[in-house]
Amino acid sequence: MVLARREVGRSLRGNAARLGLMAGPVAFFALFFAYPVAAIVGRGLHAEGVWQFGRFGEVLGRPDIREVLWFTTWQALASTALTLLIALPGAYVFARLDFPGKRLLRVVVTVPFVLPTVVVGTAFLALLGRGGLLDELWGIRLDTTVWAILLAHVFFNYAVVVRTVGGLWSQLDPRQEEAARVLGAGRLAAWRRVTLPALVPSLAAAALMVFLFTFTSFGVVQILGGPSFSTLEVEIYRQTAEFLDLPTAAVLTLVQFLAVGAVLAVHARTVRRRESALRLVDPARTARRPRGAVQRLLLGGVLTTVVVLLLAPLAVLVERSFDTPAGYGFGYYRELGTVDPSGGAFLVPPIEAVWNSLRYALAATAISVAVGGLAAAALTRRAGRLVRGFDALLMLPLGVSAVTVGFGFLITLDEPPLDLRASWILVPLAQALVGVPFVVRTMLPVLRAVDERLREAAAVLGASPLRAWREVDLPLVRRALAVAAGFAFAVSLGEFGATVFIARPDNPTLPVAVARLLGRPGELNYGQAMALSTILMVVCAVALLLLERIRTESTTEEF
């Protein structure tokens, strides 16, 4: 009723302002997403002056392609369910419990997410594969089963659930649950009826992200899937890069696009409307020291999960980077500073990739926060079909093959007026495509939960709309913004599928350099790849630690 009133009273001026805010993001996506993807799909399906839609039937009729479609879908569903199951207790523990080393641990669980997928695959291979840790200890090998892929997906996406769900959870007013308890609900019932419904939007957002990531999984499946398991994305890469079969790649790109579009549409219809104004409080006041057996058990369980599932692969990775033929040492790291005299994989010392990656990631984060922030501001007030459509549109880059985007950049942005082929900005632009949805998805639930009357109170006290946004919305979403920026930075650092196509040979990023090293035979290259991955891991950890510092400082600051 109250909401309906506001909607009706909304002025045309507000709509115009919203459209203005949307213009930037729309132009960005049109130019750097829709255009390259459309161009490459056009190239695949448009031949001899006519559209070859018959190719859909041909390609989709092939049993091997059907196999790929089926596997892609069920492994994504299974990975999402498994991730939620394993990570939800983590979200609770990080949101509601206070324990020593929490900040460090929060960074630790985020590290896997920023690792290049290729490295994740390799780390799991080293853990679960032939001659891996489990094989050595108990003779267990999982690399020929789908479990390796699922576990790697959980490893990779644990942070998505913990940060997205936990971020909102930590700001929910615990008194709501207390009110339910007083009204006679048991501990579990109170959680199920009060907290869970409030969490649904962020849960759905997290599940959606995990599903989209695993549905389009590339590096992990490439390494761990072997010949028997292949996702759409892997298949698109093979068709594009190995067989140069652009028509098949185009059909698969469109299929993936449509599948992702369908998922987003369902999400928009079922979940979005449940977001409601929540009482948000300072997260510092909701976290408590664990009390009682249940909370201690949860904390212990989560810590164990983190150690076994997240730390073990990372530990193996680090161990391998020091494990040189001459015993443990920094041999592989020293090699990174030199150019292979045999003219190997690099024109520059591999260590250069660190600076490239940082530079690109910073630029990509700035672009993501600017574009995503504008979009989130425009979407804060739910109204109109146009706005909802725009909302869904923003998520599409997560579902469109990164390989296609990268290849599309190469064939479209190479001529005036947009000749960016030689410009370094090309890489951050491609990386920001994946970063923007993060920024929007992380900020939107929090922005929408801000009570409209707080903005009105600010306006009556003399704050212009912009000032009111700065004074009311920004402090409340600063945390979400920091989380979003961190994610965007991490995603940019780890982005591989598109970057591998567009990064110039003399300016590789870390994941590209790792992949190049892994692609070459020999223990030295393998060891260097491990060393470079370890550096990437440390860079990410340091960057995230800094971000956490900024965040906690800014939340205590008043003016």
Partner 1 sequence: MALLELAGVTVRFGPRTALDSVDLEVAEHEIVCLLGPSGSGKSTLLRVVAGLQEAAAGRVLLGGADQARVPVHRRGVGLMFQDHQLFPQRDVGGNVAFGLRMHGADRGEQARRTEELLRLVGLPGAQQRSVAALSGGEQQRVALARALAPEPRLLMLDEPLGQLDRGLRERLVVELRDLFGRLGTTVLAVTHDQGEAFALADRVVVMRDGRIAQAGTPLQVWQRPASAFVARFLGFDNVVAATVEGTAANTEWGKVPVPDGSPQGARTVLVRPDGVRLTDPSEGLRCTVESRTFRGSHVAVRLCPADGPPLEAVCSLGQAPSPGAAVGVVFAADEVVVLGPDAPQ
Interface positions with partner 1 (CB under 8 A) = 4-5, 8-9, 11, 280-282, 285, 451, 453-454, 456-465, 467-468, 471-472, 475-476, 558-559
**Whole-number Å distance between alpha carbons of 461 and 448:** 22
152 vs 476 by CB, closer to partner 1:
476
| CA dihedral sign, ordered 159, 144, 118, 395 | negative
Helices (H) and strands (E) in the chain, counts: 29, 6
**In the bound complex, what is the minimum distance in angstroms from residue 174's beta carbon to partner 1?**
12
Residue 147, helix vs strand vs coil = helix
161 vs 458 by CB, closer to partner 1:
458
**In the bound complex, what is the minimum distance in angstroms from residue 466's beta carbon to partner 1?**
10
243, with CB counted inside 10 A (0-12, 13-18, 19+), is exposed
Q: How many CB atoms lie within 10 A of CB 48?
A: 5
97 vs 468 by CB, closer to partner 1:
468
98 vs 415 by CB, closer to partner 1:
98
23 vs 284 by CB, closer to partner 1:
284
**In the bound complex, what is the minimum distance in angstroms from residue 186's beta carbon to partner 1?**
27
304, with CB counted inside 10 A (0-12, 13-18, 19+), is exposed
196 vs 277 by CB, closer to partner 1:
277
**Whole-number Å distance between alpha carbons of 184 and 408:** 59
Among residues 234, 262, 239, the alpha carbon closest in space to that of 250 is found at 239
Tokens of 339: 């150019």
Widest CA span in the chain: 75
**In the bound complex, what is the minimum distance in angstroms from residue 471's beta carbon to partner 1?**
7
**In the bound complex, what is the minimum distance in angstroms from residue 452's beta carbon to partner 1?**
10
Measured CA angle at 516 (ends 360, 244), to 5 deg: 95
**Whole-number Å distance between alpha carbons of 51 and 474:** 49
Spell out the SS3 assignment of 313-362. Answer: HHHHHHHHHHEECCEECCHHHHHHCCCCCCCCCCCCCCCHHHHHHHHHHH
Among residues 2, 171, 33, the alpha carbon closest in space to that of 91 is found at 171
250 vs 481 by CB, closer to partner 1:
481
3 vs 241 by CB, closer to partner 1:
3
Q: What are the residues whose beta carbons fall under 8 Å from the beta carbon of 433, sequence distance 6 or more?
A: 29, 32, 33, 397, 405, 498
Q: What is the CA radius of gyration of the chain?
A: 24
**In the bound complex, what is the minimum distance in angstroms from residue 458's beta carbon to partner 1?**
7
**In the bound complex, what is the minimum distance in angstroms from residue 307's beta carbon to partner 1?**
35
47 vs 461 by CB, closer to partner 1:
461
**In the bound complex, what is the minimum distance in angstroms from residue 457's beta carbon to partner 1?**
4
69, with CB counted inside 10 A (0-12, 13-18, 19+), is middle
**In the bound complex, what is the minimum distance in angstroms from residue 500's beta carbon to partner 1?**
43
141 vs 551 by CB, closer to partner 1:
551
